[in-house]
Amino acid sequence: MYQSKIIGTGFYVPDNIVTNDDLSKIMDTNDAWIQERTGIKERRWIKDGSGETTATMAAEASKNALKNANISKDDIDFIILATLSPDYYFPGGGVQIQDMLDMPTIGALDIRNQCSGFIYAMSVADQFIKTGMYKNILVIGSEYHSGGIDKTTRGRGISVLFGDGAGAVVVSRSDDDSGILSTHLHSEGKFADKLIMEGPSTKDWVPNIIARNNPDEETYFPHMDGQLVFKNAVVRFSEAINEGLEANNLTKEQIDMLVPHQANLRISQFIQKKFRLNDDQVFNNIMKYGNTTAASIPIALAEAVAQNKIKKGDLVVLAAFGSGFTWGSVIMRW
């Protein structure tokens, strides 16, 4: 059985910076309120009319990852795209990446696991590499939130959190002992309605929503039970990390870098304190980008690599929790 490892990272975010003060001009909120609860100072939102989408951002992040990996697009055997915000209801965005990058007619897979999407995508890529089916896989997380959130006081519990962006990695067959040691995936569907966007869906198509013509309609905006999500997140983050460590006979003291999903800085700080990690052992960038869902871990990982925060031989842990509920971890030796 082969070993798989990340050989290249890259990310892309829109140029348009939206600060907390900017949000205070369109809803009842302020910088202190947002920072105290989330740690977020600003986020990137696609500017109307720019032409940018989930797919275009994914393509740009992919180009950067390929360049960082020093391989050609023609070396890629398979594409995995994690997103909850594809350009179309169908087809999925993976095929758009294949077209935008002018790749051969390789397979393209879309994964819908929201904040845990990148972890799930990495697990799938790892299995494809280990079994020998593919040698180089492009794994992407990309999200365009700003076009579909309620930017009023009614929706501020959601809209202050989320940003747009994309991150990508190249996962390849390893010829040494570095790479992914294990991946761990979980779900608990009884909480599906606690972090959800109900429609449009096959249960409630757009014509039905239009026919109701209800100005107070909220089914097509994301909804979150924030306190319940927070309580579950801190528990499941810890469980996923510990599960990965135990599976590889490792201890928390051996973690060199934890890259958590950037959901809320308070969650990351709670986990950091629980595992007794110092600031150099946890990478956070939610302050600049907000929660970019499936894109948050690959964006953070790419920045950590670019800033030389991760070196060869380091034990790197990726962990996420989100809608579904779903959660998981990836344990790797860099």
Asked if 69 and 135 count as a contact pair (C-beta separation under 8 A), the reply is no
Active site residue 115: yes
Q: Looking at domain 180-333, what is its CATH homologous superfamily?
A: Thiolase/Chalcone synthase (3.40.47.10)
Q: List Cα–Cα distances, 3 to 65, 90, 102, in angstroms.
A: 20, 33, 28
Active site residue 145: no
Both tokens assigned to 178: 């570095």
Q: What is the pLDDT of residues 190-241, one digit of tens each?
A: 999 999 988 787 877 778 887 888 888 888 788 889 899 999 999 999 999 9
Q: What is the pLDDT of residues 268-317, one digit of tens each?
A: 999 999 999 999 999 999 999 999 999 999 999 999 999 999 999 999 99
Distance of CA 212 to the CA centre of its chain: 34
Active site residue 285: no
Compute the mean pLDDT over every residue in the chain, rounded to the nearest whole number: 95
What is the pTM assigned to this prediction?
0.96
pLDDT score, position 9: 98
CATH number of 3-175: 3.40.47.10
**Options 20, 136, 264, 291, the catalytic residue:** 291
pLDDT score, position 323: 95
Q: What is the pLDDT of residues 67-104, one digit of tens each?
A: 999 999 999 999 999 999 999 999 999 999 999 999 99
**Options 20, 113, 145, 261, the catalytic residue:** 261
Instruction: Give yes or no on whether 3-175 and 180-333 have one common fold.
Output: yes
Q: Show me where the domains of the chain are located.
A: 3-175, 180-333
**Options 64, 68, 113, 115, the catalytic residue:** 115
